[in-house]
Structure 1
């Protein structure tokens, strides 16, 4: 239990007369503060020990027979697993999960090395899918985030390997990510798990679109799709990741369109079928608006998701969208007293100014004048933001 959380919540209990101050002090004594870095030390220690063993084996690999290699790999893997199971069961969860994690890593390394020993050729990323199943087994057996992160790294590595080696994304790895990691993320209270899940899904969908000759403009469905999913899951901690990455992917797509719209608008590989696109887009838009409860603050991101690439002068429209979105973030952040949202709006406004400056002035301005105007613009923005902060501090007087 977090000592910081207990202190904060405990004071509220005292104020509400749920407990007395003396009881509050006694509760704090029952849960002494623990340094989380100290808890991570056994994991780091077990990783270093495991790496030393693997390094020793690798340095002497060429001088061993195949049977010796196979036996060493088997003993190493079983040793990590058995030691991890034993220590975990005896009340040493941090050391235990560190050794079990090394067991998962050794399992995958063993498959790859055995494949090399017997000259087995892989034609897809199934070896990473099997490897990920070992990580998922540990994840659902012990319900520890450590195994979630290990499995996420394996799945992401496998998808990158599939793209680089075979030029196509693996549907199997996407399914394992969606259901294997998704079911765990659905039930956990840790928001970081949701952020990682949504990032992995977003990147893999991008890979699938590029590797299957699908029109690139379908990429713009990812932000509004993630936003709708985030609103659907709003009461769960996993929702935060989908909401965050919907904004991030939306800003990235709009930024690319500011510079690339004129080049790709009429390209057959870019434009999606307008009828199919609009049916899906409007469906997601209606879902997002419905789940937002018509709250203006929740409707703001919809501006960022509008498909302006079908229109002429789409590059300028996307630049305008970035400006409007950033100003709305600042406004509603102030209205809701949400400082993080206001700060992100300010950062995005400066970023939009930078994009517009590059897009509109780079080609025709003398470069010295270009940088001079850029510096003056930043001074003006700084002055305006300082005035805004002083106004907010004085309560708008």
Structure 2
């Protein structure tokens, strides 16, 4: 009976009730869409890390990453051949890596020199698609180099510019090579663009004196869900090598993925907290307008508990009428922009790139977070109902009837 009576009461003033319902709809839409934006940003970041930076899994000599000493190699060809026999693996590529100094007539910069096989690297990190000027490396060429746009701007490099790379070989002796800028690339991660340069693997290996050796093997999988399974298989197959997933090679990304939902939920709580004041105000007005009526119900025998439950039920019903509309609106909006994307490059491309994020956002409807959101909405409705309900049961029947 309380539910039926509460439902009729909330429509006695339709305009006021519709305003609250609309407020709940907009508030819930804003909260869920914030979650969708955060989730879309993080999914995009993870895809960049996997598809363009470190791959699903990386394999190294256990001592190599301590100080990038080029003598700590692994037999990349042997590792690749062994991994080809494992299912769930999409592609395997190997690289030679060393740290060195890039020098030009305008100055110098510390760089990470990546020796690559162009065809394999294009599949492993989509390097070819990142080139914005010039050409990709070719096995027919010799001393060509690819540099990032941020590094090129910093060092005033153009296509055809000459530069010198200086680094230590396996005998810990300094060696240097002259290279010409063959192409300039730009990725979604500006700090990495400033650090990484690419040359042909055979050329770098000759300078380092490691023949056919490699320092890094990158593994791409068919499915992200197979990450731990494949990692364990590779670790069993090569117990003496260091086998790491992207979560270990890019720990900052893994950390952000773990905390992004918590930050997004905080925004939802803030939105619902602000909405609660509107609900409290509306229900308090409703109680004050019905002072005589509530007094009469109390005088006729309705106990204070039922009055309390009646006002509580009205508030919860009023709140939850707007919930389906808020969820549907956020679902349609998230799916629409999830296909067309939201381009924020006009005002934040540099900032997003500085942290390794794409400036094109594709929101992802947060299905997994809906139960938490619904709990927050319910608590908002419950807390908002307490003050008006307490106000109602404090009314004295005699005073209320004289109102």
TM range (shorter): under 0.3
TM-score by length of 1: 0.20
Which structure dedicates a bigger proportion of its chain to strand? 2
Determine which structure has more spread, i.e. the larger CA radius of gyration. Answer: 2
TM-score by length of 2: 0.20
